[in-house]
Chains A and B, each alone.
Chain A
């Protein structure tokens, strides 16, 4: 053993170790290893896992969660949470349907209008939280039910069809095989850059890391939070429409708390702290990839849907426990 090590050029060895250290220091590292491990396992168990058809299916599990998680990470980093984003997701395609079929709006203005309504809901969430000082957990719990109520009242809880005039643009908005994944990758890349490399991201971290300190430094903490609420809700509205186009129907039982919790879970699994101040959007994307891989893989190998929640719960706990310990190691400067 010692001889082998001695024959290796010292510089190369230290370079390899530095690279390994650098990799492990990244918050996303541990969860990426989990994702790769899962994919390898399912590929061995069911060689169809990496086939084109299954990858499309997998991407459709991953993309919606990853897009919403991008917004959720921004909010979590700034010290808030949005539970209502799943209700916005459900309402959004209905709004598009109403605008086009009842108010004769052309497709594109209708879609833009829906995104605007999404932003408006985020504005309400943000203002109630920031100006009226209701904890966001409670604020968005309220809007979760309220928005869901609006969906049920206006749709009479019946599904609707995609308006014919919107079918063409629907190809770009979720209908085509890789459309959702493309949106997800673009959005994740955009907001990852925003969080890590712009003034906005820096202020988002500052607001969540030290709220009083950030405001003393002159950061407009309220504005940062409100805008992050608006981003999250707008993304929720976008994903709601993408998913409606993909499944080619507008369903009042789609989305809801399930997609919201999946997004929060993806964020947390990916290494975002619920306490605020730190988080990674790439990590959340990989978190969504892990959740999607688990779900898709279980389907392939025939594990029942009943067991899925149990495994998912254990996976979240496992990821969190290892994250806490990795963070401790990082702080000690060991890894």
Chain B
């Protein structure tokens, strides 16, 4: 078997008294699209922020193409080819599409920005990816949610990301807009240069582009199956069962506390 693009082993992370991740081990093969799903508070965002270098893990190891790495910062992770498209998109509304595409990796003819080249490259790259915007000069604030997401993805791919993390890519997006993103992921999969991890809370639509699914519950991976061997129904049952169990636990805790105090 070829080396995994990304592998993490026994990752743990606490924030004060809260344990966000207990023990997470997972992998992402080259060119694979993995769906990481789980309910709110399961630890998806924390895991993602560890993989992209934002948080250091308390314990555990991260391997990139088989080599262990210690991610010092988001910049460092990005320089190694791990890039993230966040839920909040990290786009600056007040800047044009092409300035956003080149944010923090601007083309400069010192001391000035080389807007001509950035504009041309951005246009060319968006055309290549089949992302259509009215103009690369337009402020991002004027674009639709789907267009913004597509630009954020295009930006990461353009920066030569090899491992791409997509955080809730279809959140707050209509069916037609969602289709745009799913097509984009399919295109990337066909080209096979990037490995993609999609973090999602609503996974119905996501599953159709994923090769494999990991279910994260209570800070650990509780299910790892190829998409073909699972279904929305099975996943939903697992999530709902877990939700019920945690709710029962919480109610018991509360009644326990109130009987103690009473």
Contact = CB atoms under 8 A, between A and B. Distances in A.
Contacts of B115: 197
B91 A202 contact: no
Interface in B14-33: none
Contacts of A205: 92, 94-95
Interface stretch (B34-42, B106-114, B172-180, B229-237): B106-114
Interface of A: 193, 197-199, 202-203, 205-206, 208-210, 212-219, 277-278, 331, 333
Interface residues on B, range: 20 to 34
Given A213-B90, A216-B84, A216-B86, A206 B111 contact: no
Given A212-B90, A214-B90, 5 more contacts: A197-B112, A214-B92, A215-B74, A217-B103, A218-B104
Contacts, number: 67
A213 B148 CA distance: 13
A141 B91 CA distance: 32
25 contacts: A193-B112, A197-B115, A198-B108, A198-B112, A198-B113, A199-B108, A202-B106, A205-B95, A206-B95, A208-B94, A209-B92, A209-B94, A209-B95, A210-B88, A210-B90, A210-B91, A210-B93, A212-B90, A213-B86, A213-B89, A214-B103, A216-B90, A217-B90, A217-B103, A219-B103
A316 B141 CA distance: 27
A288 B190 CA distance: 57
Interface of B: 54, 74-75, 78, 84, 86, 88-95, 99, 103-104, 106, 108, 111-113, 115, 141-142
B111 A203 contact: no
Nearest to A219: B104
B106 A199 contact: yes
Contacts of B94: 205, 208-209, 277-278
Contacts of B54: 216
B92 A277 contact: yes
A333 B115 CA distance: 23
A25 to B, nearest CB: 12
Given A202-B99, A216-B86, A333 B142 contact: yes
* Most chain A CB inside 10 Å of its own CB: which residue of B92, B93, B106, B115: B92
Nearest to B74: A218
Contact of B103 (A197, A198, A202, A277): A202
A278 B11 CA distance: 41
Nearest to A213: B90
Given A202-B106, A210-B92, A218-B75, A197 B113 contact: yes
B237 to A, nearest CB: 35
A216 B73 CA distance: 10
A202 B78 contact: no
Contacts of B104: 203, 214, 217-219
B88 A212 contact: yes
A203 B104 CA distance: 8
Contacts of B141: 331
Contact of A213 (B91, B108, B111): B91
A60 B215 CA distance: 68
A277 B78 contact: no
Given A197-B112, A199-B108, A202-B106, A216 B91 contact: no
A265 to B, nearest CB: 22
A116 to B, nearest CB: 23
B51 to A, nearest CB: 14
